[in-house]
Amino acid sequence: MEGIVLRTKDYGESHKVVNLYTKERGKMAVMARGAKKPKSRLAAVAQPFIHAQFLCFEGSGMGTLSQGDILNSHYPLRSDLYLTAYAAYLAELLDQSTEEREPQPTLFEWFRSSLEHLEGGTDPDILARMFELKMLDTAGYRPFLDGCVSCRATERPLGFSVSQGGFLCLDCAEQRRQQVIPLSTPAARILKLLQRISPDRLGQVEVKPETKAQLEKAMGAFIDEYGGFHLKSRTFLDRMRSDGLID
């Protein structure tokens, strides 16, 4: 079956538990026996972000990984700390947002495509926002981005309201006494676009740092409110940003 390694965990002296997101079976964990040994034939495939065809034997408990034929090693995503941090965020977001053994082939393709574009040089912040929107949509928490959630106006200045679940024009925000996260016109337009397209249709984009900061703040607050989970990788990204390692 085709899958991508989300994360791995050492088990005993020589084994690894490998968490996969597969096209056919959804999320699943398998035991890679002997994978910690350098000469093991499983060592190469039991690494984060490996995209491969996996052969697993399944019984009543955890399955056993028998073989893996690599389709894309994604080596740059493991060798560059900057890229590793973003790839880990996408993987953890997918892991936390999905249930075991619930296949979603479209979601698998989004993840595969996102990793390929991340490795290919597409802006990682934009890819992260796009993936967040996809995961929220899948989980049933799609924010309303087609205009003001209250009056449906599209021409007035818009902010992002977590409590109202999407865009809220400043007039409605004042009338309702609702707090909004300020968004520039470009930020609102980009967020709406990212909700509608896939990574393969994104192309090369250049977004100002202040615009990306607005998008990150809005989506972060929305995920905190409706996601129901804490992402260690996001904390790490925030630390890298505060240390000046990320613009």
CB atoms within 10 A of CB 235: 11
pLDDT at residue 18, rounded to an integer = 97
pLDDT at residue 108, rounded to an integer = 97
Whether the Cβ atoms of residue 1 and residue 68 lie closer than 8 Å to each other: no
Tell me what the mean pLDDT of segment 83-109 comes to: 95
Q: Distance between CA 151 and CA 134 in Å, rounded?
A: 25
Whether the Cβ atoms of residue 27 and residue 98 lie closer than 8 Å to each other: yes
Mean pLDDT rounded to a whole number for the chain:
94
Q: Which domains does the chain have, with CATH numbers?
A: 1-73 (2.40.50.140), 75-247 (1.20.1440.120)
pLDDT at residue 155, rounded to an integer = 87
Q: How far is CA 246 from CA 16, 81, 125, in A?
A: 32, 11, 10
Flag whether pLDDT at 230 surpasses 90. no
Q: What is the pLDDT of residues 14-45, one digit of tens each?
A: 999 999 999 999 999 999 999 999 899 999 99
pLDDT at residue 93, rounded to an integer = 96
User: Which H/E stretch holds residue 158?
Assistant: strand 158-161
Q: What is the pLDDT of residues 132-175, one digit of tens each?
A: 999 999 989 999 999 999 999 988 899 999 999 999 999 999 99
Q: How far is CA 205 from CA 20, 118, 192, 193, 194, in A?
A: 30, 13, 15, 12, 11
Tell me what the mean pLDDT of segment 168-185 comes to: 94
pTM: 0.94
Q: Distance between CA 219 and CA 227 in Å, rounded?
A: 11
Residue 161 burial (C-beta neighbours within 10 Å; 0-12, 13-18, 19+):
buried
pLDDT at residue 105, rounded to an integer = 96
CA angle 17, 136, 121 (to 5 degrees): 70
Q: Distance between CA 67 and CA 45 in Å, rounded?
A: 8
Q: What is the pLDDT of residues 117-143, one digit of tens each?
A: 999 999 999 999 999 999 999 989 999
